Amino acid sequence: MKPAPFEYKRPQTVEEAVALLGDDGARARVLAGGQSLVAEMNYRRARPARIVDINAIAALEVIEADGESLRVGALVRHVQLERGATDGPLGRLLTRVSRHVAHPPIRNRGTMVGSLAYAHPAAEWGAVAVALGAELRLASVGGTRVVAAEDFFRGPFVTDCGPAEFVIEVRLPALGADMGVGFVELRRTHSSFAMVAAVAVLGIADGRVTDARIALANASSRPLRVETAEAVLVGACATSASFAAAAAAAAAQADPVSEPHASADYRRHAAEVLVLRALAAAAADVGAACA
């Protein structure tokens, strides 16, 4: 099918873009990589009256590390994160995760921020954003505001971003050089969305867990940070027993629904297995053997 008729605008600045989004009754949508929106429009699940194509706004191409965080502008493509956007554990995590996002042609055009804004519950970047405590900066005619990733996601395809604003960047906090990162995903085919995915970030000193951040994709209606699992780990010895206890806690906090390919019980079990593997991978990444 072809999309319903729409007006096409290609602003050169953020100010022009928010003015176009803010017009009363415009029913406008931002176009970033187009890898989800164009399909939605062709199926006529989305019928925007106006497309605001942000691809000519050079300021949104920013990708910059300042020691405290990595700024990822709204036009940074998945492939840029795959190729090593920054050093250290954060760079390793972004490279590993991006290889699981769709397949290369889609990664060449699709954007991290577009994925966050689309808020597909299975999207890998949502889980990364809540695990790291990322912040999103939104622009409107009134200025900008910052929203924590934890508060940004409201449910499947629903976010805190209103119709007259758009996300200009996400800030991912830097990780200490001694942190370990792990990412594991279960999917039916190489380019399928995740059935469930797990992100783990660990700090380990003298055999004890000093810091733990764990999140799941597609185990709830939105990216899920599993604080119960983190609480099990912090202060505990980094052993396979404590990792198993944390994984069980994560599965208990997960709230997956049944889908045609997998029951809720199966996906909850998958969440437990994947968290266990992500923790083992994070421990190995930081050089701590898991006894």
Ligand X SMILES: Cc1cc2nc3c(=O)[nH]c(=O)nc-3n(C[C@H](O)[C@H](O)[C@H](O)COP(=O)(O)OP(=O)(O)OC[C@H]3O[C@@H](n4cnc5c(N)ncnc54)[C@H](O)[C@@H]3O)c2cc1C
Give residues in contact with ligand X (CB under 6 A). Answer: 29-37, 39, 74, 101-102, 106, 110-111, 113-115, 117-118, 120, 123-125, 161, 166-167, 191, 193
Q: Give the shortest CB-92-to-ligand X separation in angstroms.
A: 19
Q: Give the shortest CB-158-to-ligand X separation in angstroms.
A: 11
Q: Give the shortest CB-154-to-ligand X separation in angstroms.
A: 14
Task: Check if the beta carbon of residue 106 is closer than 8 Å to that of residue 98.
Answer: no
Q: Give the shortest CB-175-to-ligand X separation in angstroms.
A: 21
Distance CA 205, CA 214 (A): 18
Task: Check if the beta carbon of residue 251 is closer than 8 Å to that of residue 196.
Answer: no
Q: Extract the runs of DSSP E, i.e. beta strands, from the chain.
A: 7-9, 28-31, 50-53, 63-65, 69-73, 135-140, 143-148, 153-155, 158-159, 166-173, 179-186, 196-205, 208-217, 224-225
Q: Give the shortest CB-53-to-ligand X separation in angstroms.
A: 9
124-132 vs 88-98: helix crossing angle, rounded to 10: 160
Closer residue to ligand X in complex, CB, 101/233 = 101
Distance CA 269, CA 272 (A): 5
Closer residue to ligand X in complex, CB, 152/243 = 152
Dihedral angle at the C-alpha atoms of 186, 189, 191, 192, nearest 10 degrees?
-60
Closer residue to ligand X in complex, CB, 49/106 = 106
Closer residue to ligand X in complex, CB, 40/255 = 40
Closer residue to ligand X in complex, CB, 124/285 = 124
